[in-house]
Structure formats: C-alpha cells, structure tokens
Amino acid sequence: MSRPDRFERAPDGAASTAWGTLADRVPSDPVEADRFADELLGRLTARERLELLSGDDPLVSGLAEMANHYNRRPIPAGAVPRLGLPGIRFSDGPRGVVMYRSTAFPTPMARAATFDPALEERIGDAIGVEARAQGANLFAGVCINLLRHPAWGRAQETYGEDVHLLGEMGAALTRGAQRHVMACVKHFAANSMENSRFWVDVEVDEADLRDLYLPHFRRVVDEGVAGVMSAYNRVNGTFCGHHHHLLRDVLKGEWGFEGFVMSDFTFGVRGPRAVESGLDLEMPQSMWFRRLPGLVRRGRVAQRTIDEAARRLVRTQVHFASRGEPERYVAGAVAGSEHRALARQAATRSMVLLRNDVVDGGPPALPFAVDEVRRLAVIGKLAARPNLGDRGSSRVHPPEVVTILDGLRALGERLGVEVLHDDGDDPDRAAQLARSCDAVVTVVGTTWRHEGEWVARYGGDRASLRLPDGHEELAAAVGRANRRHAVVLMGGSAFVTDALDDVAPALVMAWYPGMEGGHAVADVLFGEAEPEGRLPLTWPRATTELPPFRRFARRITYGPLLGYRMMEATRQEPAHWFGHGLSFTRFEWTDPRAVAVGPSVDGRRAVTVEVDVTNAGERAGTEVVQGYVAEVLGTHRAPLHTLRGVAVARTIAPGERRTVRVELTVPEGVDQVAVARSAAPTDRRVVRLHDVG
Ligand code: BGC
C-alpha cells in the first residue's frame, strides 16, 4: 500500500458543523419550510443579505491557504451566526470528497465506462455521507461538460462525449449525494478547454448549444440539483458568470431552476454586475461583490436583485438542512471499508478490454490462466505508483492507495503466482525480465503531469494523444520479448495506440482507477472479474479527423459534430467506437423488437425495446445494450445516430438467454431505432416501431 502524503483527518464532531442548529429548526413540510426561509430572510439586515452572496474567507489569507492546500476543510460562504444560519460549506469533487482524507473513487470518465447510473448513485450517496460527516453541506463535484475533444485536460472529470450518458450519470451522482448534502453541477456552459479557460470565447450556434451542449445540464436541473457553477469561459462573447441569456433566460427562466448559481472560483466573476445577469454567489471570497453595497446605495443595482439572490440561497439551504441520515455521519464511514469496497467495485466495473487477440494460435491473451502463468513480469513505473488523476481542484487525498503492483502481488500470493517488477527505465533489462516469465503486463499512460487542471503549468490540455515519451518503445521492447503481453493503459481520456498494434495482443484501459484500483486491474487480468467497461468516448486513430482544438485559443467554434456522431457524418472508422468494450465470453443477440411505444410528450415518445441475449461462451459475462436513434441535432441537417437509452445486463451465465429491455426516447416521426454494442454503424440491429400500438 502506498500512502501518498501526510494529510489530516476531519476534527471530531465535524458532522454537526454542516448545518449547525438549522437542521433541527427547519420544518419538514416544504410549504412550512418556505415560510421559515422567508421569516429568516425578513430578519436579515440589508448588509447581511448582501453578505450571503459571497464566500466568507478573508481575501489574502484565504487565497494563500487555498494555494497551499486547496479545500483542506469546508470553504464557507454566507454564514450568519446571529441567526444560526451556517451558510454554504463547500467541498469539491468529483473523484470523491476533496477535504481531509476521503475515499478516492475512480474518476468520472472511468465511472462513465460502467454505463450504470445505479452504481453512480451509490457513489453519490457515499460521497454525500463523507462530505456531511466532515462538516460540508455542498458537494460541488457534478462535472458534466461534454467532451468535445479528447485532448481536454479535464476529460477525466466528466462522463464523456455523449449527451445522454452525461445527463444520466450526472443526475445519478446528484440523486445520491443530495440525500445528504446539496450538490452543484458544473461548469455551465461549453467548458471543455483547459489552458485557455479564463479567456476563450466559445462561438456556438444557439441550435447546437440547445441540442448538444446544454441538454445534460437540463437533465440534472430536472433532477433537483441545488446549485449550478458558471464556467470561466465566454460563450458568444460574454463570460458565463455574466451571461444573462444562459443564466436568466435559459436556466432560471425556461428550465425553472430554483436553486442558486455560484461562480467558478476567483476568475469566474469579472465585475459586481454579474448579479444582475443571474449569478447569486461569488466564490470563494468577496472580490467584486464587496462593491454591491455602494452600487445598491447609489441605485445602480436594484435591491430586489440582491433580495432574489438571497432568497435563492436561503431557501435552498433551508430545504436541504432537514435532509439526511445522521447516524451515518460518523468518522468511521469516511474511507471506511464499505466505501472502499464500493471504490473497488466501481474500478473493476470500469475496466475496458479494448483488444484481446489470440497468442500464437492458442487462446486469447487474457485472462491469464493460473496453471500457465506461474511467473508474471510487471513492467513500468506507473505500476508501482499511486496514479489517481490530476492534482488540481479535484484532487482527493485517500489514506492509502493500492497500486497495480500491490494488487497483482496480493492476488499473486493468493493464486500462487510469482510477481516480479521492473520500472522500465532500461527497456532491454525489462525485456529480459519479460523473457524469463510466463506472461508480462506493461503499465503505461499519463499522470497529473500530462493532463488535468492547468495549475502552476502542470497538467493542462494534452499536447498529443499519443502515450508519453518512451512508453511506446518500452511496450514494444517488452512485447517482442514475450508474446503473452497485456498492456494496461492509465489515463483520463483516449490514446492513439497504433504503435502497440503488433506488440500487445491484449489492451486494457484502466483509467485513473482510484484508491482500490490495483485490485481491480489484477482481478480483470486473471479473470477473477469480467471486463465490464465500455468506452464513454471514441478513440481515434493517428489519422482520424477530430473537431479543431488549439490549446491557447482566444476564440473557437463549437459545432454539432464531435465523437461518434462526427465519425458517422464524416464516414471515418476510429480505432475504437464509443460504447466499445470486449468481454471474456461471447454473446448472441436475437429478435430485437419494440414492445411499447408511449404517447408523444414535448415531441418525443418513450419506446421500449427488447432483445434476447444468449451467452454462447464458457464464462459468465456482462452485456451493455445501447439504444440509438437517428436524429437531426443542432445545425447538422442530416440525421445521425445518437444514444438515447442503455441497459446493463450483468453476469449472464454460460448458456443463459436473457431478455434485455432498453427504454429510449424517440422524436415524433422517427419510425425505427437500433440496438447495438457500440456506436459503430456495423453493430446496429434495426428495430421498427410501426408494429407496436
Ligand atoms: C475549477 C472548479 C472548481 C473550483 C474550485 C476551479 O478552478 O474550475 O471545477 O470547483 O476551481 O477550486
């Protein structure tokens, strides 16, 4: 086990600071709670009402503490001790709770690979418990920006390139977390470039915005999310924290959002008048909003604008303060055995088997057969290091980390397999070890140095989609020395892996798998667990054309084509399609059929499709049935297939035939849908809707 650094635990009694006495005073009936909130608001002085609208930490020392140790404790905003109002107590995410020593789950991109909102909801529940137990009442870690290009440095924090998956996973995380704390969804909107995030102007047609860059936010708003964080970037010339159209017209107007909008930290507000555009809370300190009292006094900002923001903040807090399961908010729950088991389960289920070719005419490279693999070589530094993802605002500090080598050694001991490690610094030496073993695993990929939030010039957007320098050469040297070779990739997004084509019969994407990830990798390599993950983003070939991406762009146009929709429109064949992931067993699909078509609501109909899935192999396995609908979205006038429903059918036994049911929403007038294992056009099985009443 690696202990990454020293970090304190939450102080005793932290849970009681999340809501203080407010939790006991709030009536549980929502109408009464509203009345209680109004009464509280009525008792606030004009000054106090203004103070609700910004973070409470002192400017200089607050920033200094954050630079030194970001979010080591809840970040407070808008507390009014005189009235027993604790205000907002912020914890970041999304990998887990950033404060203190909490469970590090796999990053969201990994979790998206499970395609399973029910699992994500359980992670949300665990995160909510850990946040609350440690004195926070807001989890600001629901990141659902659409991955427009795999080079985005913060790809790992989101759920991939698909609107449906983003919305369902974000809603699930929100649902789970909001049993215990408020959740905040981010970054609203069109935020998917890192190095230029403070200035870039995203030009996007309203139709593309509506159909591609916003629907998942609406899904999470409909789920009842408490807060929305505005993005740093501009959209069509205006900074998102000042975007009247996005914040007032769309979010609060059309979508009826009743919670509060907070700024992204420090540079998310450019002036005090952001409040007029719909920004309710300046985080993490009052830099611009401290000017509001003067502006209100001079009649330049209306008092009712302040009152509206104050009402949103207080009402939301009041409604959430009475929620929860207090008996669970105990220190032992934080990174305790239950949450660690969940982290391990999520990691295991997120592993994507990208390729699994046969070795020398025998069986496929994976899983390793214990009677044949008595000595296993493990190559690469990343195998022996904690590799949890970026080190920006999403960094979680778990009490310990199971590295891949730890995981393989633990399993090796149980199975009687000798595990030998070489850091790969000298490829010839590594190849020699590989040659002396029955099988070899090379672990390569990225770390926080290659991608992530752009902090102190580490991380940021990726300069290349290839593996870091030297990794391809290392894998090639090892693969030439021993044909029974599995390459395990670590990272938050896609890689171009053509250099591994002839040297690695098996390729496994392990993502940033969290504090228990080493066990997950070991279990999949030895077949103790099935590879159940599917790609939440398309993996390009070296030559694949993707949407334009310039790391230091001042201005960029976001269009309707990206990911698998772009592949279909431009007739390209990527290395791996969205939704792809192999199994150790083999499935046959028969008789895909529509069994119910609902009435039209807002121009769409709910359609239920079934398909019979038979496990024709020798091991139990999981099938992820994806439902696609050809739709015109945004400014692209030709219909392209887009995911509108998913069903995960787990542990189908050998010989078992299971009927899998997928629910999709289909636009009025569309008379067929498709079920498929991935977004690849050749995978689709068409289902006509006209036979069903
Ligand atoms: C990030 C947000 C984060 C905030 C708080 C910003 O740099 O964009 O995702 O919540 O910092 O640190």
Residue with tokens 């008092």: 303
Q: Counting Cβ atoms within 10 Å, is residue 407 exposed (0-12), middle (13-18) or buried (19+)? A: buried
Q: Which of 21-30, 129-138, 157-166, 180-189 is the least confident region?
A: 21-30
Residue that terminates a domain, selected from 270, 302, 331: 331
Q: Report whether residue 120 contacts ligand 1, using a CB cutoff of 6 Å.
A: no
3 burial (CB, 10 Å; 0-12 / 13-18 / 19+) is exposed
The answer to whether residues 207 and 307 belong to one domain is yes
Residue 420 and residue 524 in one domain: yes
Report if residue 7 sits inside a domain: no
pLDDT in tens, 421-471: 999 999 999 999 999 999 999 999 999 999 999 986 799 999 999 999 999
C-alpha of residue 536 to centroid of ligand 1, in Å: 23
Question: 526 and 640: one domain?
Answer: no
The span from the CA of 13 to the CA of 331, in Å, is 9
Is residue 127 in a domain?
yes
Q: How confident is the model at residue 669 (pLDDT cuts 50, 70, 90)?
A: very high
Dist. CA 547 → ligand 1 center (Å) = 25
317 and 362 both lie in a single domain: no
Same domain, 531 and 617: no
Residue 197 has pLDDT above 60, yes or no: yes
CA of 113 to the centre of ligand 1 (A): 24
Look up the domain containing 656 and give its range. 584-691
> Is residue 542 situated within a structural domain?
no
Using CA atoms, how far apart are residues 473 and 479, in angstroms rounded to an integer?
Answer: 10
Domain boundary among 537, 568, 595: 537
208 lines ligand 1 (CB under 6 A): no
Catalytic residue at 264?
yes
The residue whose CA has the least distance to atom 10 of ligand 1 is 92
- Whether 6 is covered by a domain: the verdict is no
547 part of a folded domain: no
Work out the mean pLDDT of the chain and round it to a whole number. 96
Same domain, 312 and 358: no
Of 331, 361, 380, the domain-final residue: 331
- CATH number for position 215: 3.20.20.300
> Cβ(92) to ligand 1 under 6 A?
yes
> Which CATH number covers residue 644?
2.60.40.10
Q: Is the bond preceding residue 667 a cis peptide, omega within 30 degrees?
A: no
Q: What is the pLDDT of residue 372?
A: 96
| Number of folded domains that form the chain | 3
For ligand 1, is residue 393 a contact (CB within 6 Å)?
A: yes
Catalytic residue among 264, 406, 422, 461: 264
The answer, yes or no, to whether residue 3 has pLDDT greater than 70, is no
Are 324 and 357 within one domain?
A: no
Tell me, in angstroms, the distance from the centre of ligand 1 to residue 204's CA. Answer: 23
- Once rounded to an integer, what is the mean pLDDT over residues 32-57? 96
Structure pTM?
0.98
Does the pLDDT value for residue 2 go beyond 70? no
Same domain, 389 and 506: yes
> In this structure, are 243 and 365 located in the same domain?
no
CA atoms in the 13 A half-sphere facing the CB of 69: 11
Give me the pLDDT at residue 7, please: 67
Mean per-residue pLDDT, 473-479: 98
- For residue 466, what is the domain's CATH number? 3.40.50.1700
pLDDT of residue 693: 56
Query: Is 90 a pocket residue for ligand 1 (Cβ < 6 Å)?
Result: no
Q: Are residues 230 and 101 in the same domain?
A: yes
Instruction: Please say whether the beta carbons of 505 and 358 come within 8 A.
Output: yes
On whether both 273 and 218 belong to a single domain, the answer is yes
Give yes or no: residues 597 and 526 share one domain.
Answer: no
